[in-house]
Structure 1
Amino acid sequence: MKRANIASTQKQHFDIIVIGCGVTGAAIAKDASLRGMKVLVVEKNDIAAGTSSRSSKLIHGGLRYLETYQFGLVAESVREREMALRHAPHLTRLQPFLYMFYDDAPDKKWLLNMGLTFYDFVSGNWNKRRHKMLSKSQVLARQPQFRSEGLNGAALFYDVSTDDSRITIDTMRTACENGAQLINHCEVTGLTFSDNKCDGIKVIDKLTKHEAQFKAHYIINASGPWSDNILGFERSKSKVLRPTKGVHIVLRKSDFPLHSAVFTRSPDDGRVVWPIPSMQDDRVFIGTTDTTYQGDLDNVCPDQSDIQYLLNVANHLMPKAKLGPQHVIGSWAGLRPLIAPKDDLNNSKTPREHQIMVSESGLFSIVGGKLTSHRVMAKQMLDYIIKYDRCQYLSPSVNIYRYDKVILSGAGVTLEDGKNYCANKIISELNALGVPRELSELWTSRYGKNAHLVADEYLKSQSNQKRLSMRGLTVAEVIYSISNEAAASLADLMVRRTSEFFWDKSGGLLEIEAIATEMQGLLNWSDEEKARQIEEYRALVTAHRPSMVRESKTKTERPEMDPVC
C-alpha cells in the first residue's frame, strides 16, 4: 500500500471518492473495490488518525446498549464481533469480562443474566462461550485485589480486544490490494459541482502544499467527527453531530494487576467504565469518559479532571493500589461522532447507531456508528448508492457483495480453505530465518502473515537490524511502514503503525532523534523538516503525559526504560 501520486490521480475519474480514512472509510473502500468500483480515499491526516485510533480497542457486542433497549444494535454488534475473529485473527483476541455486582450498583442479576443469554444466543457460538454467574468468593479467587466490601459477585462473559489502528490500516491495505487508491495527508478544501450535482473535491496536499481536484460519480463523506465540516462546504453551519470526548489512561500491570477486563461503574457518577488488559501484556488501560466536546476537533487531549475521574475508578475497584497521577504512563483522547439527538439526552444515553444522508446535490454522508459495525456501515452505504444510481453512472456489471468472504491483509488464510490462522507457525518461520524470537512475536502480533515482509527488510543488511527503541522498533520496521503502509510522519509511525505512543512510558521520545534520522533519510526530509516533525510529535506526547514533562524538568538521570514486550 503506497500513497497515490496526486498528479497522475488527478487525471483519472473515479466511481467513488471517500473522504476520510478511519475504519468506516477504509471499509467502504474495501467493499467498493471488491465490487469492482474505481475508488479513491482522501484523508486529511493519516489512516486511523482520528477516532479509529482512540477507541477502547474493543470489538464488542455493546452489552450496555441493552440498558437503552437497543436490541438490534446489540445483535448486529455481536455478529460483527464473531466475524472479526474470523477476518482478522492476527489482530483480535478473545477477552474475558467480569460484570461486577456491588450493593451500590443499579444492576439486577436476574435481568443481566437474561441479557447475557441473549448476548450468547445471537453470537452463534453460545455452546463455546456461554456466560457464567460467579459468586463473591469466585470473583475474589480470580482477582483478590478487588474491593470485597459490598461485592455480590459478577457475571463472566466474553468480547474481543483489538488494535483499532492496525485493523483500520489492514482494512485499507486490503482495499488497495484490490485496486483502491489512497492519498493520506491530503485535506479537502471544497467540493465541485456540475449541473448542481456534487462531482468532485478540491484538495491541498499537506506534504507538498500543491492544490488539486479529483472527480468521481459519487462523493462519500466518511470523515467521522469532521462530517459537519465537509457538509459545511455545501450548506454553512451544518450541525448534524454532537461529538463527545472519550479519554483513556494507561497503567503498568504491575501497579494495577488486572487479569480480566471489567465492566464496572464510576464512583463519581455511576457511568460504565472499562479497565482492560491491553494486548501488550505489561499494560492495562481504563476508559472511557463521555463528555460533550465543543473545542478544536484537531486537538483533543485529556485534562486533569479526565485523568482523576479514571484513577478514581481504578482505586474504587482496587483500593490497595493507591494510584495517583504519577502512575499514569500514558493516555489518549478521541471523539465519538454521535448524531445530535432530537431530545435532550445525556451523552451516555445518546444512541450509537449510524445514519446515511444524501444532500440535494448528491453528496453522501455516513455519520455515527462505532468500530464494531464498520462492515455493516460500508455495505449499507454502497447498497444505497447502487440503488440510487440505477445504472446511470456505475456499471451494470458491478460485482456482487464479497466483503464478508475476503479476510484482511495479514491474516494469511482464506475462509474457504478451512485452515485456522496460527501465530505460532509464523513466529517459528521467522525464527528459522534468523529473526530473534521477541521480534518475531512482536511483528506477528502487529502484522500477522505480513511480518514476513518486515523480516525481508530485517535480513537485507546488518544496519536494518538496528534497534531504535526499547519496545522493539527496528530500522527494518521503519522501512516497512513507509514503503508498505504509507507512513509519512513521525506520528504516523509512532502512533498508528507501531503504537509506541500509547504503551511506551516516554511515548518513544527518548529515542525520537534516532528514529527521526532514519525517516529523514527514507523520506528526504530537510533538517528543518526533521526538527519540525520532532517538535510536533514531542508536543503530542507532552499533551498526553503531563506527569512525564514535570518529571523531566526535575530529574537529570535517564528516565526508566521499558523492556521489549
Structure 2
Amino acid sequence: MLKHQTKTHILGAENRERAWKTLTTQEFDVLVIGGGIVGCGAALDAATRGLKVGLVEARDLASGTSSRSSKMFHGGLRYLEQLEFGLVREALKERELAMSRLAPHLVKPLEFLFPLTKRYWQRPYVSAGIFLYDRMGGAKSVPAQKQLTRAGALRMSPGLKRRSLIGGIRYFDTVVDDARHTVTVARTAAHYGAVVRTSTQVVGFLKEADRVSGVVVRDSETGAVGEVKAQVVVNCAGVWTDELQSLSGQRGRFRVRASKGVHIVVPRDRIVSESAIILRTEKSVLFVIPWGRHWIIGTTDTDWNLDLAHPAATRADIDYILAHVNKVLVAPLTPDDITGVYAGLRPLLAGESDSTSKLSREHAVAQVAPGLISIAGGKYTTYRVMAADAIEAASQFIVARVAPSITERVPLLGADGYHALVNQTDHVGAEYGVHPYRVRHLLDRYGSMVHEVLSFADGKPELLSPVDAAPDYLKVEVVYAAAAEAAMHLEDVLVRRTRISIEYAHRGVDCAQQVAELIAPVLGWDEATLDREVALYLARVSAEVESQRQPDDESADALRAAAPESRTRLLEPVTDFAR
C-alpha cells in the first residue's frame, strides 16, 4: 500500500469501507444527496465552514448532468437576450474566479468566432451584447472582443462557407472537462474533511416527529442497508430532485423539468478553424467547441420524460445538429465522421414557460420539510453560488454557529503550484521519462497533483506508456482513477475519468479489456468480475449505438434502458424504507 493512499482526498477502496462505517455510526451536521457538481460544491462549502459533512451518490461522481454538458464554464451569452442580467453577471464572476484562482488547471480561456449574417443592425447589436458580457463579470483573464471583416473571420475559420457570413466578432469564453472538474471538487471536499461515498443510494428518510433527521442508504454494490443521521439533509439530486422529495413524503415547493441536450464529437480535421464557433439556430445556439483532437458540436433542447439515468440521443437529434452545422461548413459532416455522441439532461425549474429553451436558468432553494432542503435549477458555472445558498438555507437547522461561505478563496486540488509547474514541464518530463507534451496533458487534468499521479508508476515503468487503443491517455491515469478518484467500474473510467467513450470511434470497445486488466488488481476483481465488467461495457456501447439509430425518444430509450447496470443493487426509490 502506498503511503499517500492514506490522504483524505484519495478516494479508493480503503476509503470506501471507512466511509461506510463513519456514515452509519456518526451524526453529521449536513448530509448532501447527489454527487453532481452542485452536491460536490455543497459538500465543499459546508466542510470549509467547519461543519461535519457527508455526501452520498447512488451511482458515480458526475454520472448524470455534470458529465454531459457543453464543456463550457461560461456566463451564457444568449441569456443577455432574455434579459437575465443577474444570472449572466453572477456566472461571469464565477468564470473569472475559476480561471484566475480556483481552478486555472481545469478552466481554460477559449477563443470564439461569432459569425455575422445580417447587415447594418447585427454588428452593433451583437457588439453591445458582447461588450456587456466582457464587462459584467469583471473579466480580467480574457481579451476584449475584436471586430472582423468577412476576410478576417474566414482567416480564423477557413472551414466556413464564404456566403454564410458577412463578417464576424472574436470574443473569449472558457472550456472545461466537466466530469474531471466535478471529481476534483469532490476530492477537495474530502480533503477538507467531508465523507464522500459513491454507489450509496438514498432509499428512505429518517424522521423524528415532523422533522427529517437523516436518511436510509443502500450500497449499490452489495445491497447493504444503513442509516445516516444528520441535523439537516440537502437534496442536490438534479433531475432526480422530485423523486427524492416524493420519497421524503413531501411535495416540495418547486418541480424540476428535464430538458435533453445532445452533442456529437467529430475529429478536429473535419472542420478547419483556429477558434470555437457560436451559431444561431431558430431555437437557440449551436456551439462548435475544440476538444483536444476533436470538436464537440451541440446542443439540442427538448423535453425528456423517460429514463433519467440514461437519456438517449436519437437519429433525429443527430440529424438536427448535422443539418444546422452543415449550413455553414464548406465540407459538410456526415454520420460517418462522428466518433462520439452523448446526451445529458438539464434540471430546469418547471413552470416558467412551455418551451424548455426559455426556462429560467436561475436556481431555487426551498425548505421541503424541517431538516430537508432542496436546490435545483441554475447552470454548471454557478455551482459554487448554488452550493453556498443551499448550505446557508440549511444552517437554520444546525445547532452550532455556522461560519460564512469561504469557497471563493479556496482553490481546488491541483490549482496551487500549477502555473509554476507549467514552466517546469521539461524538468518534470525528464524526471519521470515522459515527453513534455504528455506532462502538459497531465497538468491540464490534474494540475499540481501530477507528481501524485505519476508516483503510481513507481517501480512500474510500463504504466507510463499509452493505453494501446486510446493513446491520448497513459496507463497510469487509468490506475489512478481506480486507486484515488472513486472509479469503481470500467464504465466510470472510460466514460468520466477519461473521455475515451466519446473521443474514439470504437467508443472504448477496443481498449475495454486492457483498461479492465489495469484496474482489476486495484479494485480486487477476480477473473469473473473482470469479464463481467467488460461484457457490461460492451453491452452499454451497443445499446447506445443502436439507440442513436432510432427515430424517436421512446424507441431510443427502450433500447438504451435495456442495457444492464454495472451497479447491480440499484433500486427504484421505495417508500417502505421511510420511517
Partner of 2:38: 24
- In structure 1, how many angstroms separate the alpha carbons of the residues matched to 2:181 and 2:426? 20
Q: Name the residue aligned to 1:277.
A: 290
The aligned residue for residue 349 of structure 2 is 339
Name which of 375, 390, 394 aligns with 2:399.
Answer: 394
Give the drift of 1:60. 0.6
Paired residues of 2:315 and 2:548 also in contact (CA < 8 A): no
Using a 3 Å threshold, how does the CA distance of structure 1 residues 128 and 337 change in structure 2: closer, same or farther?
closer
TM-score relative to the length of structure 2: 0.87
CA contact (8 A) 2:312 2:547 kept: no
Q: Any conservation in 2 of the 1:329–1:545 contact (CA below 8 Å)? A: no
The letter of the residue matching 1:309 is: Y
Q: Distance in 2 between matches of 1:96 and 1:456?
A: 35
Partner SS, residue 317 of structure 1: coil
Query: Structure 1 residue 515: deviation in Å?
Result: 1.4
SS at structure 2 position matched to 1:533 = helix
**Aligned residue type for 2:460:** S
Q: Distance in 2 between matches of 1:107 and 1:181?
A: 55
Q: Residue deviations 1:156-202, cap 9 Å, x none?
A: 11111111011111111111111011110111111111121111111
Q: Is the 8 A contact 1:258 1:277 kept in 2?
A: no
User: More deviation in 459-468 or 485-494?
Assistant: 459-468
Residue number in structure 1 paired with 2:267 = 252
* 172-181 or 479-488, larger mean C-alpha shift: 479-488
Q: Does the 8 Å contact 1:132/1:156 carry over to 2?
A: yes
What amino acid is the match of 2:500?
E
1:321 to 331, 334, 338: 331
User: CA separation in 1, counterparts of 2:142 and 2:36?
Assistant: 32
Identity of aligned residues (%): 32
Instruction: Report what 1:287 is aligned to.
Output: 298
Determine helix, strand or coil for the equivalent of 1:432.
helix
The within-5 A match list for 1:51-62 is 51-62=65-76
Deviates most, 216-225 or 132-141:
132-141
1:306-331 deviation per Cα after TM superposition (whole angstroms, max 9, x unaligned): 1111111221121x312111111101
SS at match of 1:97: strand
Q: Which amino acid aligns with 1:189?
A: V
Which letter maps to 1:161?
V
Answer yes or no: is 1:492 the counterpart of 2:507.
Answer: no
Change (3 A) 1:548 1:299: closer
Partner of 1:437: 436
SS at 2:467 equivalent: coil
- Partner AA of 1:241 in structure 2: V
Alpha-carbon distance in 2 for matches of 1:113, 1:199: 53
- The answer to whether the 8 Å contact 1:427/1:444 transfers is no
The AA in structure 1 aligned to 2:162 is: S
Q: What residue is the counterpart of 1:423 in the other structure?
A: 422
1:111 Cα deviation after fit: 2.1
Are 2:413 and 1:409 aligned? yes
Q: Which consecutive unaligned segments of at least 5 residues does structure 1 have?
A: 414-418, 551-565
1:350 to 349, 354, 359: 359
Matches within 5 A, 1:59-78: 59-78=73-92
Alignment of 1:129-168 (within 5 A): 129-149=143-163, 151-168=165-182
Supply the AA of the counterpart residue of 1:502.
I
Match of 1:561 in 2: none
Deviations 1:496-533 (A, max 9, x none): 11221221221221121121122222212233322332
Aligned to 1:453: 452
1:311 aligned residue: 322
What is the CA–CA distance in structure 2 between the aligned matches of 1:223 and 1:106, rounded to whole Å? 47
SS at match of 1:129: coil
Task: Decide whether aligned partners of structure 1 residues 545 and 255 sit closer, same or farther in structure 2, where only a CA change above 3 A counts.
Answer: farther
Partner in structure 1 of residue 16 of structure 2: 4
Aligned partners of 1:106 and 1:408: how far apart in 2?
46
Local SS of the residue matching 1:248: strand
Which range moves more in the overlay, 325-334 or 514-523? Answer: 514-523
User: Does 2:217 align with 1:203?
Assistant: yes
Match of 1:299 among 298, 305, 310: 310
Q: How many residues in Structure 1 have an aligned counterpart in Structure 2?
A: 533
1:229 equivalent among 243, 259, 274: 243
Residues 547/467 of structure 1: CA separation in 2 closer, same or farther (3 Å cut): farther
Contact 2:315 2:549 in 1 (8 A): no
Q: Cα deviations across residues 82-114 of structure 1 (Å, max 9, x unaligned)?
A: 0110211111211111122214x9983222222
RMSD over aligned CA atoms reads 2.3
Letter matched to residue 171 of structure 2? F
Which residue of 1 is the match for residue 230 of structure 2?
216
Q: Structure 1 residues 362, 257: CA separation in 2 closer, same or farther (over 3 Å shift)?
A: same
Q: CA deviation at 1:258?
A: 2.9
TM-score (norm 1): 0.89
Q: Which moves more between the two structures, 235-244 or 141-150?
A: 235-244
Q: Distance in 2 between matches of 1:124 and 1:477?
A: 36
- 5+ unaligned residues in a row in structure 2: which ranges? 1-9, 551-579
Output the amino acid matched with 2:542: T
Deviations 1:464-494 (A, max 9, x none): 3454333244442233212211111111111
Counterpart code for 1:19: I
Distance in 2 between residues matched to 1:30 and 1:89, nearest whole Å: 18
